[in-house]
């Protein structure tokens, strides 16, 4: 039998990190032999019972040059891109309050489903709100209104539901769950509209007080045994919402970072926390990134640029090219998907297959344009798509029937799992391309040397194809409206 060897470098195996958007042919090569190596296929597909189900084992055979008539997924492990940080979901007030209404067996089942790497989909990141957001049962802060000295600061509100859930999630994840924290609005007295709702701006006189507040929150959480991995400056800083919101222009965010938040984090020994700017949609991301990151004093504090997927409110598609442009312009910074969900909840639509396909489309293209971490919105919501104190009810991957103590899994959960279960922190994205436009793909190599190739088909066609790696190929097929992960 002819032996074929793929050369993978030590960098692919996680020994070093390179800029997220820069492919590099590797040196210091280590041989990996494909001969006899098998591919395990996991599938989720509409109109079937497949839900991350092992559906086959493939073998490689010689295929030096595919023909145009042979659909292929081409994978090149020698071409590497960004290092992967992880995937997770938000532990909001709404998720925590809903979780508390479930019986313990359902709670345990949910935690295993999200955080167990064998029984579940192995989440490795989390996000939570700094005091209230729309997915809270009411508006609240951690201080008495008007307390600019922060002497009344208390986490008593979070200790009822949110902190217990976060601690259980950390335990379920094996004792480690990097947490991103985000504010939706400063307290009302710090803003020019004297309200946490409806936009408004942070008053210049309170910029230092607000930076102190954020630092106080991080330290208070860590004193409770909840390590904070990173923080965003402001959730959706260009959105005037009926819920908690606050407007920062690009220049205002830049100046707040370099003169207040960044120095305050450093002064308090928190400079290692990953500070993420923007935290809004892909539409304005390039303008925001250039304004902040072209200023050296601001850029030195910024680890990454966060983004959401709601630019589709205009009726168009997700704007992945804007991510690519930011990635190319600032390869030393990190792109992080910080929030996304399907809006306008309806229980009649929880089995709609397009829910998962939206996730798959975003995740594949976000990763292919340099994203290093991907964090979904609410981990869990109730049968009404809440609780939400302003009626902004949305979908989550899992909903709770709180009347009957049951969990409802949408196919979004399974689609996310095709990435989070098989692509682990420290992995490197590797080259992957489809020869048919109906197939979307991305691929990563984990630190243990395993390779995970994700392929999604949103069409109604069954599409046979070859998984092709350097003259070797394994034949399989993509089912209609399916996502598959091939692990080798």
Q: Catalytic residues, which ones?
A: 236, 339
Cα–Cα nearest to 152, from 189, 179, 183: 189
CB 285 within 8 A of CB 308: no
C-alpha to C-alpha distance for 137 and 135, rounded to whole angstroms: 7
The helix (H) or strand (E) run that includes residue 93 is helix 93-100
334-343 as b/e, with b when 16 or more CB fall inside 10 Å?
A: bbbbbbbbbe
Contact 193, 199 (CB under 8 A): yes
Residues 350, 412: Cα–Cα separation, whole Å: 10
What does the H/E/C string look like for 250-289?
A: HHHHHHHHHHHHHHHHHHCCCCCCEEEEEEEECCCHHHHH
Which of 338, 413, 339, 337 is CA-nearest to residue 369?
A: 337
Contact 288, 277 (CB under 8 A): yes
* Both tokens assigned to 445: 């190599």
Q: Phi then psi for 334, rounded to 5 degrees?
A: -120, 130
Looking at the DSSP assignment, which residues form a beta bridge with residue 478? 463
Instruction: Provide the 8-state DSSP code for 479.
Output: P
Which residue matches tokens 């492919």?
A: 23
To which residue do tokens 């793909």 refer?
441
Which residue has tokens 């997220």?
Answer: 20
Token pair, residue 14, equals 């996680």
Alpha helices in 294-330 (DSSP H): 296-299, 320-329
Hunting for tokens 């508006």 — which residue is that? 139
The Cα 371–Cα 340 span in angstroms is: 14
Angle 404-406-412 (CA atoms, 0-180°, nearest 5)? 140
């Amino acid at each position: 039998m002819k032996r074929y060897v793929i050369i993978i470098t030590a960098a692919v195996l996680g020994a070093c990190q390179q800029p997220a958007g820069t492919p590099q042919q590797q040196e210091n090569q280590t041989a990996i032999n494909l001969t006899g190596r098998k591919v395990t296929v996991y599938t989720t597909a509409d109109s079937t019972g497949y839900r991350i189900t092992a559906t086959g084992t493939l073998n490689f055979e010689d295929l030096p040059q595919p023909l145009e008539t042979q659909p292929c997924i081409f994978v090149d492990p020698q071409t590497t891109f960004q290092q992967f940080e992880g995937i997770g979901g938000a532990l909001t007030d709404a998720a925590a309050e809903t979780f508390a209404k479930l019986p313990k067996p359902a709670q345990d089942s949910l935690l295993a489903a999200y955080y167990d790497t064998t029984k579940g989909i192995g989440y490795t990141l989390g996000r939570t709100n700094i005091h209230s957001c729309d997915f809270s049962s009411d508006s609240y802060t951690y201080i008495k209104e008007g307390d600019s000295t922060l002497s009344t600061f208390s986490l008593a509100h979070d200790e009822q539901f949110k902190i217990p859930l976060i601690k259980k999630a950390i335990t379920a994840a094996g004792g480690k769950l990097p947490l991103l924290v985000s504010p939706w609005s400063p307290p009302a007295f710090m803003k020019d509209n004297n309200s946490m709702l409806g936009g408004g701006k942070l008053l210049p006189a309170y910029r230092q007080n607000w930076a102190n507040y954020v630092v106080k929150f991080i330290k208070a959480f860590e004193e409770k045994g909840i390590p904070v991995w990173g923080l965003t400056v402001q959730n959706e800083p260009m959105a005037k919402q009926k819920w908690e919101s606050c407007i920062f222009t690009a220049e205002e965010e830049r100046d707040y970072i370099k003169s207040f938040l960044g120095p305050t984090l450093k002064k308090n020994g928190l400079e290692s926390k990953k500070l993420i700017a923007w935290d809004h949609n892909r539409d304005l991301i390039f303008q925001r990134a250039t304004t902040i990151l072209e200023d050296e004093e601001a850029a030195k504090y910024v680890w990454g640029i966060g983004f959401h997927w709601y630019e589709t409110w205009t009726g168009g598609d997700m704007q992945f090219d804007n991510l690519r442009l930011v990635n190319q312009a600032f390869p030393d910074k990190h792109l992080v998907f910080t929030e996304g969900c399907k809006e306008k909840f309806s229980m009649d639509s929880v089995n709609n297959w397009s829910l998962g396909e939206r996730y798959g489309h975003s995740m594949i293209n976000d990763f292919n344009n340099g994203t290093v971490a991907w964090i979904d919105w609410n981990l869990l919501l109730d049968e009404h798509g809440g609780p939400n104190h302003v009626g902004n009810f949305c979908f989550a991957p899992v909903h709770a029937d709180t009347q009957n103590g049951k969990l409802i899994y949408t196919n979004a959960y399974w689609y996310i799992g095709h990435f989070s279960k098989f692509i682990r922190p420290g992995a490197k994205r590797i080259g992957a391309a489809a020869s048919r436009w109906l197939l979307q793909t991305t691929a990563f190599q984990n630190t243990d040397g395993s390779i995970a190739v994700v392929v999604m088909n949103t069409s109604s066609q069954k599409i046979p194809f070859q998984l092709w790696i350097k003259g070797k190929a394994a034949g399989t097929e993509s089912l209609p409206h399916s996502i598959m992960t091939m692990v080798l």
